[in-house]
Chains A and B, each alone.
Chain A
Amino acid sequence: MSGDLRSGRIVIVGASLAGLRAAEALRDEGFTGSLTLVGDEPHLPYDRPPLSKQVLLGRARAEECGLPARRALQARWRLGVGAVGVDTAGKRVLLADGEQVPYDRLLIATGTRARPWPDPGEAALDGVFTVRTVGDASRLAERLDAGPRRVLVIGAGFTGSEIASACRERGLAVTVAERGRAPLIGALGGTVGAWATKLQLAHGVDLRCGVTVSALKGENGRLTGAEFSDGSRIDADVAVVALGAVRNTEWLADSGLAAGPRGVACDAGCRVFDMYGIVSDDVFVAGDVARFPHPLFEYQLIALEHWGNAVAQAEVAAHNMVSSGPHRRPHLSVPAFWSSQFGLNIKSVGVPTFSDQVVIAQGAPEERRLVAVYGYRGRVTAAVAVNRAKWLEHYQRLIETAAPFPPGPGAADFVDGSEPVPSDVPDPRVLSHGPTVALTGHLPDRRLTLLRPGG
C-alpha cells in the first residue's frame, strides 16, 4: 500500500520554509515520484526571521537570507508564478500563467502575507513599509541606512517590536504606536506586556499605547508624519506597518476546501477538511496557513505563525503523504517560538494565550531576565523565558504532562511572594498587531476568535 504512496505526483504550493522542508522530508521518506514546487515569489526559498533582525541591524543583506538545502530534491521548481485555483475533483492546480499541474497528492504551504495599511493611498506613500519579503526588508534596510529622522512603527507585536529594537540599536528615533495596552500583549498577556512596556521605554522608544494611527500624512508622495487618535501628531519619514498577517487562502476560494481568512483547516495529520468538514486523503497543509486541532489545547483549531511549527508540521505532512492509515503520525509538538529584541532572547513554549493565569516564576519584572508560567484551569499551558532559555525544556515537560498550575517551588527558584495573577489576554480586536498565536476555536467562557481588524 505505502509502496504506491512513494510514487506518483506530488505538488507543493508555496516554496518557502514549510514547502521546502516538506519536499526534503518527502525524499527522506523515500518518495521517488515527481515533485513540483510552485511559488509566486521569484526567489529561491529564504528565511524570514532574519529580515526583522540581522537585516535591519545591517549585519546581513536581505538577498542573502536563502535557506540551506538539507539534501538534493530532483524537483521541478515553478517560481515567480502563483497558483490561482485547485480543482480537487480533477486533481489539478491552476497556475496564473494558464498551466495546469496535475497531482496525486497536494500540499498547501502558502503561508501568510503582511497585513497592509488599510488606506491604499497612504500605504503608497514613499516611506511606508511592511516587512514580510526579501524586497520589503531590503528596501527598508536601505532607507534606515540613509538615516531617517524618525521611524514610526505601527503595531507592537513581535515583528513591530523587533523593528523598533533594530532602529534604536542604530541610534534612530522611533515612535511605536499600539492600539492595545502594551507591546506583545496579544501573544503574551498583560504581565509580560507590562514588562515589555518598561523595556521599550528604557531603550528610548517613544511608545504610545492605547492609540491608533488615524492618518499617515504625505507631501508630494512622500511620507511626512502621522496623526493619532488622541489628536497628537508626529513628523516621521519612515513608517513600518506591523499589523500582523493575512493568510494566503484567496486562491482556494472556489476549491471546496475549508479555507478562509483564518486559514486552511486540517486534522491532526495535516489532512485538509473540505467545506463540509469531511477530511480529504490527498490534500494536505502545513505552516503558517494551517489551522489544526491540538490535544494539549482542548482540540481547538490553532494557527501558529512560528518557524518551528512550519518545520515540524511540514515533516508530519510529508510523512503522512507517503504513509497509509495506521502509519500516519499526528502533529503534536508543543508550540515554540523565539524572538530577539533589545539584546534579549525571548522564547516561548506552549500557547500563552490559552491561559487564565500567569505567575512570574523566576527573575523579576525589573530584571533583564524572566520566566513567566501560564496556566489554564489549574494546569500549566505555556511558559515564556527572557534570557533564561535553558529553563524552557523543564516547562515543556510540565505542559506535556498537564502538570498542575501554579507549578510547585522546587520546579524552579520561585520568586518570593509571586502569586498567580490573571493572564489578561485581551480580545484580539483591541490590538493593532495580530497575535502570532491565534486560537480560532471556541471556549465557552472566553472569546479568542481571531477576527479581521476593524481598521
Chain B
Amino acid sequence: MIQPRFSNLPPGFRIQRETNTEEFFINMGPQHPSTHGALRLALRMDGETIVELVPHFGYIHRGMEKQAESMSYLQYIALSDRQDYLTAIQNNLGVVIALEKGMNVGVPEKGEYIRVMLQELGRIASHLVFYGCFGGDLGGQTCLLFGFKEREMIHDILEEVTGSRLTTNFFRPGGSRYDVPDTFIPRVKAFLDHLEDAMRDYERFLSKNIIVLERSIGIGVLSKEDAIAYGCSGPVLRASGVEFDVRRANPYSIYDQFDFDIPVFHNGDCYDRYKIRIAEIHESMKILRQCIDKFPKDGPWRSKEKPVRLPVGRYYSEIETAKGLYATYVVAATTGEKPYRIHTRGPSFPHIAALNKMVQGHKVSDLVTIMATLDPVIPEIDR
C-alpha cells in the first residue's frame, strides 16, 4: 500500500516542529459547497491541521416525523421522497414494506421485479452522483459532467415509468402505482450497454489518476471497530472491512433470488470508499441483467387494491439504499389511515457523526475529500 504523502519522508528529513502554536476555530458551511447541503462544521484547528470537528445540524429541519403524525400513510410515501432526494425511489420502498407488513398484503412476481429493477437503477444513479461529486470536490469538474450525464438517462427512464424524475412517489402497498410501459425493458437494456462502455472510460479517467491517489489513499481512515461503533452502514461500513448488506443479511423483496457479490474493502480510507461504489455499480448492473432475463411478460403487477389502513401495532422494515441502512418504524395506535408515529433511521447521520474520528490530524482540504466519500445528504439528516 502507498502511504500518505507528508508522513513518508525518511527520518532525517522530517520537520521537527518546536514553535508554539495557538489553536483557533473556523466555521465551514453552512453555505460551503463541499458540505453537500446546509451543514455547518465547526473546526478546531492547529495551523492547517484539524484537531477536532463538531458538526451542527438543523439548518433545513422540516419536522417530517412530526408532520407524519397528521398525515395519512399514503401521504407519507410522498413525503419520504423528500428525505434523501438522491435515493427517493428506495425510500419509497422502505416505507411501503413497513406498511405491507401491517396490512398483510403480498406482491405479485412482476411487481417484485419492477421493484428490484427500479431499486438498482436508483442505486446506480446515486453512485453516479457520488462519482461526479467526488471528482468535482477534488477539483476535476469534468467528472461532474460525466457522472450526471448517465444519471440523466436513468432519470429519463424513471420519468417514463413513475411520472417524475426525482420525487417518484411510486410504490404502493401491494405493488406499485402503474405497470411499467412496454418500452421499459428495451430502454434499460440499451442503457446498460451504454453504461458498461461509459464506466470503462470513467474508471480510466479517475481510478488511476495520480492526484486522486495521492489525495485519497490513507486519508480519513475509519477502522472496523469505529465503523461498527458509530453505526455506519452501506458502502462506508463495507469499505472498512465489514461485510454487511441488508440485501444479503436480511433479504427483502426478491433479492435472495439473484446472484451478486457484496464488494468489501479493508483499508477504510477514502480511496476504498471510492472503489467500493464503482464496484457496486457493476454489481447493480449484474442484478439488472438478471432481471431483464427473467422479467415476467405478463401477470399482475399489483395485488388487489385495498384502502391503506393499518391495524394497531408496530411495524418495522429495513432496506439497503445506496447510502446505507434505511429503516422505518411505524407505530399505529388506532386502526385507521393515520399513524401515531413514524420514525426513520437514515444512513447519513452516523456517517457525519463518525467524521470527527476520520479528520483528526488531516488538513482542511482532506476534510473535503472525506466529506465527498461519505456521500451524505443533509436533508436526510435534518428530516
Q: Do A and B actually bind?
A: no
Name A's B-contacting residues (CB within 8 A). Answer: none
Name B's A-contacting residues (CB within 8 A). Answer: none
